[in-house]
Amino acid sequence: MRQATFNSLCNILRPWLTRQNTKYRLAVPVEVRVGVCIWRLATNLEYRSISHLFGVGLSTCCRITQEVVTAINFVLKPKYIRHPTAAELRVIVQGFRDRWHFPQVAGAIDGTHIKIRAPAENSASYYNRKGDYSIILQAVVDHRLRFWDINVGRAGKIHDARVFALSSLYQRGMDGKLFPDWRETFEGVDVPLVLLGDSAYPLLPWLMKPYPEGAAVTADQINFNFKLSQARMAVERAFGRLKGRWRCLLKECDAHITFVSRIVSACCVLHNYLEVHEEEYLNGEVEAEEGGDVMEGRCDYQQQPDIRNALCRYFSAL
């Protein structure tokens, strides 16, 4: 993060983080407050070391981190993680078309696990298939690797498809309120705006997933799966950058379960903040893991296979 970007962040948060001096002590400056929180999130260094590094008391470090994380979620999140406007949506759709040659894509969706310390209550619900305790971050990203929708906090034992079904994103999609009715005709079928997901997600008119792999898969379907995978990797790369920058998400988060979700949310906001300010990403991207268990749901819409088959024929004809 460049100095100018850091200063801009401090100025945005200053009204919420400024404290009054007293006759007994001087207040910790906003720059130090933001620096303590950023250092903690970016390195996962223990508070004792951060305390010595910044010359601030141990308990003060803990309190400052909580205050800054809360301020980031309250002040910055509504601006940096929100549903795209119509103009922004056109840019996203064109971005996916230009970069990966996949039409009518408004975003890529996936989930990732964030390790946590086993909660005192109901810990079995957080024990995932990889043998860790975790919560799930579900996110939708655009072609520039920026999050425009996040859902964080579901227990790690829950399947990606169930997390999706419980999210407000799913409800808006099923109510027809997620995207405008912009359609484009491919192979005689009107194709609406869609999200791209992996095999763990259900096939919906507004969510594309790959064909199930097996002996019956055709060459055209394999080609479609490849095209979809290429475009969908945007969300995997976004998770890689998120965890590469904010390395507290790579290790077991030792915060209380009620605060972990706020930390993850703040990291997503800061990720978008840095991407918007075009900060260079220097680390090698952390390999995004996931890929939930395959769940082939029932097709409740006749449209679903028609849309996917039309796109499959379109790619085959290119």
| Contacts of residue 13, Cβ cutoff 8 Å, sequence gap at least 6 | 30, 34, 68, 71, 72, 75, 76
pLDDT along the chain (318 residues), means of 10: 94 93 87 95 92 92 95 96 95 95 95 91 89 94 96 92 93 93 91 93 93 87 94 94 93 87 96 93 60 45 75 90
CA distance 12 to 194: 34
pLDDT of residue 297: 42
The position carrying tokens 């799966």 is 225
pLDDT in tens, 268-287: 999 999 999 988 887 655 55
State the pTM of this model.
Answer: 0.91
Beta strands (DSSP E) in 118-274 are: 134-141, 147-155, 184-186, 189-191, 194-196, 207-208
pLDDT in tens, 104-144: 999 999 999 999 998 888 889 999 988 999 999 999 999 99
pLDDT of residue 283: 66
Q: Return the biggest CA–CA distance within the chain.
A: 78
Question: What's the length of the chain?
Answer: 318
Pairing, β 194-196 against β 105-115: parallel
